Amino acid sequence: SAPHARGVRLGDAAVDALALAEVRRRVLRVDADPFLFRGSLRSAIDPHSSAPEHLVATSIHAAAAGDIVDALPHGLETQIGERGRMISGGQRQRVGLARALALDPEWLLLETPTSAVDSHTEAIIAGRLRRAREGRSTIVATTSPMLLAEADEVLLLDGGRVVARGSHRELLDTEPAYLAIVRRAEGES
Residues 6+ apart with CB under 8 A from 108: 27, 28, 30, 100, 101, 133, 136, 137, 138, 139
pLDDT at 147 over 50: yes
CA distance to 2, 47, 50, 113, 182, per residue, from 162 (Å): 21, 36, 38, 21, 17
Q: Could you give phi then psi for residue 155, rounded to 5 degrees?
A: -110, 130
Distance (Å, whole) CA 95 – CA 42? 10
Q: In what order do the strands lie in the sheet with 107-111?
A: 27-30, 107-111, 137-141
Residues 6+ apart with CB under 8 A from 127: 150
pLDDT tens, position by position, 12-26? 888 888 899 988 888
Mean pLDDT, range 144-160, rounded to an integer: 95
What predicted TM-score, i.e. pTM, was given to this entire model? 0.89
pLDDT at 3 over 50: no
Distance (Å, whole) CA 188 – CA 94? 19
pLDDT tens, position by position, 96-143? 999 999 999 999 999 999 999 999 999 999 999 999 999 999 999 999
pLDDT score at 185: 84
Residues 6+ apart with CB under 8 A from 19: 1
pLDDT tens, position by position, 37-93? 999 999 999 999 999 999 999 999 999 999 999 999 999 999 999 888 899 989 999
Element (H, E) at 164: strand 161-166
pLDDT score at 10: 82
Q: Are strands 9-10 and 13-14 parallel, antiparallel or unpaired?
A: antiparallel
